[in-house]
Structure formats: structure tokens, C-alpha cells
């Protein structure tokens, strides 16, 4: 649409008895008794309190008609998204400077309690096309919660899950396409901090590569100067097609303000109208992008997060078994004389155990009752009968199994939601030689001496190692797929951001900070593991080298079945 035709359309609004804005104003309610601020009427199309998702149709009973476009706004907390959306509705409904009212779609964030704040929800607002509408089509605006909120990295992970659930709604109650994804950023940022880089990285990681052509910057709190944030965005290599500047005061001022502010207010108004006209002229040229690839990215990322969550405790358990094996080996070697004489002795080793950790009310989990293992936490599926839809479940050779728990159990009835999760920890125990000997002789059904006992210990470790390596293989495949399809493959590598959050928590020491630090440390550990999994990661390589240097026969760890068969008559070689 040309600039002249846009102005002609705006001119047509002023002819006739009442403009669209004036007709809409009659349907609106005043906010806090202020007749100049009007809350637009809305009709609920979809509301999902569990995932905090909503969709509304704005402007009364007239249904949306004709082809529409979908605009999604994302950004950091405090970037000005709510103010910008309120500006959009004033522009598209044709509010004029001389009108003595302004529309608000989103009320101020402080009006509602934080726990119920509208900005904690993902909300789609459909503005149906009607006579007098500035745009030639229906417009749907998607408002999202701010990344990098005070609730921390866990809130950001929850937002990722919210977006995935919203896109999966589809059809009339959700959205099937996007015509624009806009980063809302403040003009004054001279450079991006680690926190801001994390925010951009996290948002870009949600989308498929095919949305890159519709990503734009909406720069808020601008004056007429070149915004410093543009250089910061360029230095950080944030992909985007275009940038548009806005002054957030533009649509909040009114002609009914004090006389001495009227001239400045009118200048702001004209500036705002010009900014929106320029943006929507570009927006209307965008071809719609299907959400198919983006939904695939979100599913892969959910699967990766779950795999990493499962790998970490199993890696610690396997490495703990190696340490236990090292300590046992050292004790057996030290007491070889007693063993040869069949005399008992004691030694101390660290063993891996699990305990139950109570969950906060309203938090859900997927636990495997057979493995005593937490396969997915937090999980967004509370009902046991629906656990087949948990992110931990995966199809393997046509059979759906848990991809995380050690025994790869079936989803139902072994996986359930409890009011606790399993947590692994290490504890020192005193063992006796006779106890260890009896345990492995019962398992192998044969009499074991020094070397045979070591080989039996090795067999236990190899079984754990093979399970873990299968998990790391799947995580590696998931990372490779994200490299192929995601706009930003791996947001988990923002270690500096997590370090800053940990230091801030330590410094401020607010209530509950120790638990938040633990969560941040877990997130950092997952990020480091994801980086390692990109390559040919072998978590046991250093241990094998250490064992070799300490005189232990590392061929005991060889799971070669040919070698096993050749020595099966009594060599008691380790098998997998």
C-alpha cells in the first residue's frame, strides 16, 4: 500500500457522521473512572488457565471476516510491549489527535496482582476488519510474557512451554501461521549484556529457520536520533529483516491535556502515526509462514531438555559407580593377602542413593515406579492416564517407551505423577569383603577370586555405561536436528548469563535463594553437557585413562562379544 493511499484511507475516516473509532468508543468502558481512557470490549474465544493461554476477539459481536494476518510480539520484561500494543489498536481503529479518548487493550501491569497479571499469559487479540479499519485485513496480535523476568530462568523455560502449547492449539482457537515476529527492544541500549543476549538467544531458539524473513525489530522509547541499540544488535549478530522506531508517549497523550503540553503532544502523535504507517506498510508485504517447522523445533527442544535432564543423574550415577569401582579395586589390591587367605576385611566406598524431594503444590512430575527415577520435571501432564503424552516418551521401533529412565519402561502404568521427585546423592558406606564376594557370587553363580571379582564389578559398570551412551547418542541426534531446522540451535550455551544470575542471588540472599541457585546450577550443567554432546563426547575417557595409570587392567571394560565368547568357559570376562 502506497503512502498516498494510506493517507487517503485516513482521510475517508473523517468524512461521514462518525468514524470507526467513535463507534467503537460507544462500546467501551472507562478505566478507573477516567472518561478519556477506554477499555475495548472483548469476546473470549479460548482460555486455558493451566497453560495461561487465551484468545479474544475485540470490538463486540462482529465476527472476523476475510483474510487476516498474525503479528507476534516478544521481548524482555519492561521493553514496552504492552504500550506498543495499545498504540497499535489506537492506530488501526483510526483514533485521531482531536478525539477526546484513547483505547487501551492491555491495562497497566500494576493493576492486577503479579500472580494473576495479564502479562503472565500468552494472549492473542483478534481485531476483525470492518468499515473504517486502517488495515485492509483482520489483524491478530499475540502478546507474550517478558523473557528475563524477576522469576528467573525457570520462568523463561515455562514460557517456552507456553508458546509450544499455544502453537499446538491451531485452528480458530489458536494460530496456524505467522506474518511477523517482532522483537521489542529499548532504543537506549548501547550494547547487549549477557542477560539480553540470553533473551534474544532464547526467543530465536523457539522458531524454525523459515521465519527469518519475517523477524523485525520494534525499537521503543525513541527520539529522532539513531537508536544505539541498532549497533548493539548488529554486533550481537541478531537476525532480522528491518527495524522500526516508536516513541512510547505517542498514543498516551491527548488533545485534552494541559494547554502548554498540547503542541508537544501533537508532535508525538504525528510521530507515532508515521511510525505505525511505515511498519504496517512493510508488514502487509510479508508472506505468511506456516508453524509446521517451528512446532517441530519446539518438540525437538522439549525432547532434548528431557534427555539432558535424564542424562545428568545417570551420568553422575555411572561416574559414581566408576569411583566405587576404583575404591573397591584399591581396597582389594591393598588386602590381596587377606583375600588369598579367605579372611574378611572392611573398606569404605561412596555409593549412589536416591531420596524423595517434596514438590510445591501445583507442580507435576513424571516418575518411573520401577526404576525409582524422575523422568520429567516439571511435567505439564498431571493425570497418570495421559502420561503417554509426556515429553519423556518416545517411539522406539514402533513401541512407545520412556527415553529417559534406565530400563526404558512403558509409559503406562509404570509412569505416574507424585507429590515428590527422586534426587540422587552420594553417601559413604562401610562394606566387608565377604559381603561383596557373596553378592557377586550369587549373581554369577560361581566362586570368585580376586580377578573374577573385579570382572564382575566391571560388568555392572558396563551395563550402566551402555544405557548412558544410548541416551547421549539420542541427545546428540536431537542437537544435530536442531542445528538443521532451528533459527538459533542451542540457547543452553549462555553460561555467562547463568553465572551472573548465581552471583546476584548470592549477593542479594533473598528468601529461597539457595533453591534458586541450585536450579541455576542445574541449568548451567545441562548447558555444558549440551555443548559437549555436539561433538563425540565420551564421559568415561578420563576415568579410563586414570585407571590405566593406576595399574588397573582396562581391558576388563571391553564389551567385545567375540572376546567374551572365546573366553566364556571360565575366564569371566565382562559382557554387556
pLDDT in tens, 212-224: 999 999 998 887 7
Average pLDDT, the chain: 79
Beta pairing class for 415-416 and 366-368: antiparallel
DSSP assignment, residue 98?
T
H helices then E strands: how many in the chain? 15, 20
Do 283 and 302 lie in one domain? The reply is no
Q: Please compute the mean of the pLDDT values over residues 348-364 and round it to a whole number.
A: 89
> Which of 375, 396, 418 is the last residue before a domain boundary?
418
First to last CA, the chain: 68
> What would the pLDDT profile of 496-539 be if each residue is shown by its tens digit?
667 766 777 787 777 777 877 876 777 777 777 777 776 666 66
Do 364 and 406 lie in one domain? The reply is yes
In a domain, 255, yes or no: yes
Confidence (pLDDT) at 173:
73
Do 205 and 330 lie in one domain? The reply is no
Do 196 and 344 lie in one domain? The reply is no
Task: Compute the distance between CA of residue 563 and CA of residue 392 in angstroms, rounded to an integer.
Answer: 36
Confidence (pLDDT) at 75:
83
Task: Compute the distance between CA of residue 234 and CA of residue 229 in angstroms, rounded to an integer.
Answer: 9
**Per 3-state DSSP, what percentage of the chain is helix, strand, and coil (rounded to 5)?**
45, 20, 35
Predicted model pTM:
0.71
> What would the pLDDT profile of 43-89 be if each residue is shown by its tens digit?
999 998 888 899 999 986 555 555 689 999 988 878 888 889 999 99
In a domain, 495, yes or no: no
Do 103 and 224 lie in one domain? The reply is yes
Do 68 and 162 lie in one domain? The reply is yes
Confidence (pLDDT) at 60:
67
3-state secondary structure at position 152: coil
In a domain, 527, yes or no: no
Question: Rounded to the nearest 10 degrees, how much is the dihedral formed by the CA atoms of 189, 195, 200, 202?
Answer: -170
In terms of residue numbers, what domain contains 275?
A: 3-289
In a domain, 528, yes or no: no
Q: What are the grid coordinates assigned to 52, written together?
A: 495461561
Query: How many separate domains does the chain show?
Result: 3
In a domain, 209, yes or no: yes
> What would the pLDDT profile of 278-314 be if each residue is shown by its tens digit?
999 999 999 999 988 988 888 888 887 787 777 778 7
In a domain, 496, yes or no: no
In a domain, 505, yes or no: no
Q: What are the grid coordinates assigned to 286, written together?
A: 510479508
Q: H/E element holding 352? A: strand 346-358
Measured CA angle at 206 (ends 143, 217), to 5 deg: 55
Do 410 and 550 lie in one domain? The reply is no
Q: What are the grid coordinates assigned to 384, written together?
A: 497418570
> Which of 234, 269, 289 is the last residue before a domain boundary?
289
**Hunting for cell 457522521 — which residue is that?**
17
> Which of 289, 306, 330 is the last residue before a domain boundary?
289
Confidence of residue 108 (pLDDT cuts 50, 70, 90): low
Do 452 and 553 lie in one domain? The reply is yes
Do 120 and 64 lie in one domain? The reply is yes
**Radius of gyration from C-alpha coordinates of the chain:** 30
Task: Compute the distance between CA of residue 456 and CA of residue 556 in angstroms, rounded to an integer.
Answer: 9
Confidence (pLDDT) at 460:
75
CATH assignment of the domain containing 81: 3.40.50.300
In a domain, 514, yes or no: no
Nearest alpha carbon to residue 522 among 152, 160, 198 = 152
Do 405 and 430 lie in one domain? The reply is no
Nearest alpha carbon to residue 109 among 126, 85, 92, 88 = 85
Do 105 and 193 lie in one domain? The reply is yes
Do 244 and 327 lie in one domain? The reply is no
**Hunting for cell 573374577 — which residue is that?**
452
Share of residues in the chain with pLDDT > 70 (%) = 79
Amino acid at each position: 500500500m502506497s503512502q498516498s493511499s494510506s493517507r487517503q484511507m485516513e482521510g475517508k475516516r473523517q468524512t461521514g457522521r462518525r468514524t470507526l473509532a467513535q463507534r467503537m468508543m460507544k462500546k467501551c468502558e472507562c478505566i478507573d473512572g477516567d472518561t478519556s481512557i477506554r477499555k475495548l470490549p472483548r469476546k473470549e474465544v479460548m482460555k486455558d488457565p493451566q497453560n495461561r493461554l487465551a484468545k479474544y476477539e475485540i470490538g463486540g459481536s462482529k465476527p472476523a471476516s476475510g483474510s487476516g494476518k498474525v503479528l507476534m510480539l516478544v521481548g524482555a520484561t519492561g521493553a514496552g510491549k504492552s504500550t506498543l500494543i495499545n498504540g497499535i489498536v489506537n492506530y488501526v481503529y483510526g483514533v485521531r489527535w482531536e478525539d477526546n479518548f484513547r483505547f487501551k487493550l492491555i491495562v497497566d501491569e500494576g493493576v492486577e496482582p503479579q500472580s494473576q497479571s495479564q502479562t503472565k499469559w500468552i494472549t492473542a487479540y483478534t481485531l476483525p476488519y470492518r468499515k473504517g479499519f486502517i488495515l485492509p485485513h483482520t489483524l491478530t496480535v499475540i502478546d507474550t510474557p517478558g523473557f528475563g523476568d524477576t522469576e528467573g530462568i525457570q520462568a523463561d523455560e515455562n514460557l517456552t512451554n507456553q508458546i509450544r502449547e499455544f502453537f499446538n492449539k491451531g485452528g480458530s482457537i489458536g494460530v496456524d501461521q505467522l506474518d511477523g515476529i517482532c522483537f521489542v527492544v529499548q532504543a537506549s541500549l548501547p550494547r547487549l549484556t549477557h542477560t539480553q543476549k540470553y533473551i534474544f538467544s532464547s526467543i530465536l531458539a523457539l522458531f524454525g529457520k523459515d521465519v527469518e524473513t519475517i523477524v523485525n525489530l520494534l525499537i521503543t522509547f525513541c527520539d529522532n536520533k539513531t537508536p544505539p541499540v541498532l549497533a548493539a544488535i548488529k554486533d550481537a549478530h541478531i537476525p532480522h529483516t528491518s527495524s522500526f522506531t516508536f516513541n512510547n508517549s505517542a498514543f498516551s497523550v491527548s488533545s485534552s491535556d494541559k494547554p502548554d503540553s498540547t503542541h508537544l503532544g501533537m508532535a508525538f502523535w504525528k510521530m507515532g502515526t508515521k511510525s505505525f504507517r511505515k511498519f504496517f506498510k512493510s508488514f502487509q508485504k510479508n508472506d505468511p509462514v506456516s508453524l509446521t517447522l517451528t512446532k517441530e523445533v519446539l518438540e525437538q527442544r522439549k525432547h532434548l531438555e528431557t534427555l539432558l535432564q535424564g542424562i545428568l543423574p545417570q551420568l553422575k550415577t555411572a561416574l559414581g559407580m566408576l569411583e566405587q569401582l576404583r575404591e573397591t579395586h584399591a581396597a582389594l589390591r591393598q588386602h590381596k593377602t587377606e583375600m588369598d587367605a579367605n579372611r574378611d576385611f572392611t573398606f569404605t566406598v561412596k555409593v549412589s542413593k536416591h531420596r524423595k524431594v517434596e514438590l510445591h503444590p501445583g507442580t507435576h512430575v513424571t516418575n518411573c515406579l520401577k526404576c525409582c527415577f524422575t523422568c520429567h520435571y516439571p511435567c505439564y501432564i498431571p493425570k497418570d492416564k495421559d502420561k503417554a503424552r509426556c515429553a519423556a516418551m518416545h517411539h522406539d521401533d514402533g513401541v512407545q517407551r520412556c527415553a529417559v529412565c534406565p530400563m526404558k519402561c512403558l509409559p503406562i502404568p509404570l509412569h505416574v505423577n507424585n507429590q515428590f521427585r527422586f534426587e540422587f546423592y552420594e553417601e559413604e558406606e562401610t562394606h566387608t569383603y565377604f559381603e561383596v564376594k557373596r553378592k557377586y557370587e550369587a549373581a554369577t553363580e560361581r566362586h570368585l577370586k580376586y580377578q573374577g571379582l573385579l570382572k564382575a564389578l566391571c560388568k555392572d559398570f558396563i551395563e550402566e555405561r551402555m544405557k548412558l551412551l544410548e541416551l547421549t547418542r539420542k541427545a546428540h541426534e536431537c542437537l544435530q536436528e536442531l542445528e538443521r531446522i532451528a533459527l538459533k540451535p542451542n540457547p543452553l550455551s549462555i553460561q555467562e548469563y547463568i553465572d551472573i544470575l548465581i552471583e546476584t542471588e548470592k549477593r542479594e540472599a533473598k528468601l529461597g535463594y539457595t533453591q534458586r541457585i541450585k536450579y541455576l546450577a542445574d541449568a548451567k550443567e545441562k548447558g555444558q553437557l549440551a555443548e559437549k554432546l555436539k561433538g563425540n563426547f565420551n564421559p568415561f575417557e578420563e576415568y579410563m585413562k586414570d585407571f590405566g595409570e593406576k595399574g588397573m587392567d582396562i581391558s576388563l571394560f571391553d564389551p567385545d562379544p567375540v572376546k567374551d565368547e572365546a573366553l566364556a568357559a571360565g575366564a569371566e570376562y565382562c559382557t554387556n
